[in-house]
Amino acid sequence: MVIEKIKKYLTSQVSIAPLVIFRIAFGILMSASIIRFIYMGWVEKMYILPKVYFPFFGFEWIKPLPALGMYIVFGLLLITALFILIGFLYRISTISFFLLFTYVELIDKTNYLNHYYFISLISLILIFLPAGKAFSLDNKVFKRNDIKSTYRYFIFLPQLQMFTLYFFAGVAKINYDWLIEAQPLKIWLPAYSHFPFIGSLLEKTWIAYFFCWFGCIYDLCIGFLLFNKRTVYFAYFLVIVFHMATSLLFNIGMFPYIMMTITIIFFKEKFHIAILNFLEKITNYSTTNRIEKNNSLHPIIKYAFIVFFVVQFLMPFRYALYDGKLFWTEQGYRFSWRVMLMEKAGTAFFFVEDKKSGKRIEIDNKDYLTYMQEKMVSTQPDMMIDYAKFLKEEYNKKGLSDIQVKVQSYVTLNGSGTREFIDPTVDLSLETNNIFKNKNWIRSY
């Protein structure tokens, strides 16, 4: 019965306008993001200058290209984003954007951000949407007719992806540190005590609690409020308030603006049709006749999408399969929409040790790691392994054969104060990053 209802809802016919507006918004935001990324000099900083990279488990074969190659990749990303915007070679452009963007994100764990992961997923979904079937250069160039309506599920897919991000970000906030200790906001908010008007308020404990609880409730509810036609505009008001606040307080780049823009896909049809009509008018885009043509998704792809979301729903809970405190060990931490959840910092001193004599070389991390890499390696065990293996290789090249790599490391988590993080007697170069194995050499929290 319920299944029938859902089926009926998903296969109902709706205007294609929301998808077109979504495509345009995505294209604009991605072009801006890529330009910003290049302008900030991050291509060089993240993908050209580093001497060592930290690939993801199962993607160790992903390597950065030489400098020119990386710039070409980013150039192509910009071009494909613009093509998506104008709806040119839509299928090729979306596939290329997805592959290139994901490739870049897989090069180095250092740069992992949930919002990059989100962009990867959205661009993957975009490949299968008929978002280029109306108000597009493709239709002009290839003399195709604009499509007027499409299946509801095409709009539902990106909506569900956004819902997933919010909802699981909310689920992730249901933890002791966040709700009971108001951490890390208790640390982060006072840093803004110099703000006019609200500054002194930000040092108050109750404000940290208020933000934490509000953030948690917001994340859990906002998806539902957006889906509900009666509350969508109120929800959007909350989206604006929430993301403006986070963009003021945290160093999170484009993400708030991306979210504020693309959530309009939840708006009523009328809104999108009005915008589309306006755009068609100012661009002199005339369609001789619009057709009611439905391309449905291949059944296999439909099932694949079901699997795609089921996996996403399970990912945040995989940490339960590992020992130890999640925030401390970070086993199963990524790909779960855990955003702005902890203030973690550490110091790690690595040693290359001659097995026979026990004599050591202390590594100056600055010699091998970028600033950002050092910060990440200092608190993330899986990156420590990669680094240890890299150091072993480096020193093998220098003619030291019988060596092991150890670390003396201290980490503070949400203001806990630094404690020993890793067993300093373990040879990290022999450990594995296999995600199916527990990292039992991490000190318990």
Partner 1 sequence: MNTKFFRQLTVLTLLGLLCFTVSCRDKKKNNEPEEPEDAFDKSGMLINYADNIILPAYQSFSISLDSLNQAYSVFKNNPDLPNLHALKSKFVVAYTKYQRCDLFELGPAENTGIRGNFNIFPTDTQQIKTNISTGIYDFSAISNLDAKGFPALDYLFYGKQETVIVASFTNTNTKQYVTDLLNEMTGKCNTVITGWNSSYRNSFINSLGTDIGSSIGLLINQLNYNLDYLKNAKIGIPLGKKSLGIAYPDKCEAFYSSSYSLKYAIETLDLIERVYNGKSLNGSNNKGFDDYLIHLKVQHTSGTLNDAIQTQFSLARTKLMAIAEPLSTQMTTNPTVVDAAYAELVKLLVLLKADLPSSLGVVITYQDGDGD
Residues 125-184 that bind partner 1 (CB under 8 A): 169, 180, 182
Element (H, E) at 350: strand 344-354
Our finding on whether 371 is near partner 1 (CB under 8 A) is yes
What's the CA gap between 258 and 115, in Å, rounded?
A: 9
**Is residue 230 a contact residue for partner 1 (CB under 8 A)?**
yes
Q: Which is nearer to partner 1, 138 or 177 (CB)?
A: 177
Q: Using the rule CB under 8 A, which residue among 280, 343, 423, 427 binds partner 1?
A: 343
Nearest-Å Rg of the Cα atoms of the chain is 24
Q: Figure out which of the listed residues 340, 369, 388, 426 binds partner 1, where binding follows CB under 8 A.
A: 340
- Phi first, then psi: give them for residue 392, nearest 5 degrees: -60, -45
User: In angstroms, rounded to a whole number, what is the distance separating the alpha carbons of residues 14 and 368?
Assistant: 55
- Longest Cα–Cα distance of the chain, Å, equals 84
Q: Does 360 participate in binding partner 1 (rule CB under 8 A)?
A: yes
Stretch that binds partner 1, among 89-97, 296-304, 305-313, 403-411 (CB under 8 A): 403-411
Q: Is 98 exposed, middle or buried (0-12, 13-18, 19+ CB in 10 A)?
A: buried
Task: Convert 276-300 to b/e letters by CB count within 10 Å (16 or more is b).
Answer: beeebeeeebebeeeeeeeeebeee
Q: Which of 48, 82, 95, 203 binds partner 1 (CB under 8 A)?
A: 203
Shortest CB 130 distance to partner 1, Å: 29
Closest CA to 351 of 388, 297, 308: 388
3-state secondary structure 197-251: CCHHHHHCHHHHHHHHHHHHHHHHHHHHHHHCCCCHHHHHHHHHHHHHHHHHHCC
Please pick, from the candidates 191, 291, 314, 430, the single residue that binds partner 1 as defined by CB under 8 A: 191
The site string for partner 1 over 37-76 (x = CB under 8 A, - otherwise) reads ---x-x--xx------------------------------
Q: Is 226 near partner 1 (CB under 8 A)? A: no
Q: Which stretch binds partner 1 (CB under 8 A): 12-20, 93-101, 270-278, 334-342?
A: 334-342
- Binding segment for partner 1 (CB under 8 A), chosen from 140-148, 260-268, 302-310, 371-379, is 371-379
> Which residue's CB is nearer to partner 1, number 137 or number 315?
315
At which residue do the structure tokens 């220098």 appear? 398
Residue with tokens 């086993």: 331
Minimum CB separation from partner 1 for residue 59, in Å?
Answer: 20
Q: Are strands 149-151 and 13-15 parallel, antiparallel or unpaired?
A: antiparallel
State how far the Cα of 231 lies from the Cα of 433, in Å rounded to an integer: 46
Burial of 270 (0-12, 13-18, 19+ CB in 10 A): exposed
By CB under 8 A, residue 288 contacts partner 1: no
In the bound state with partner 1, the residue whose beta carbon lies nearer, of 243 and 389, is 243
C-beta of 437: minimal distance to partner 1 in Å?
26
59, 71, 192, 441: residue in contact with partner 1 (rule CB under 8 A): 192
Q: Which of residues 411-430 bind partner 1 (CB under 8 A)?
A: 411-412, 415-419
Asked whether position 364 contacts partner 1 by CB under 8 A, the answer is yes
319 DSSP assignment: G
Does residue 109 touch partner 1 according to CB under 8 A?
Answer: no
Q: Near partner 1 by CB under 8 A, which window of 19-27, 92-100, 226-234, 285-293?
A: 226-234
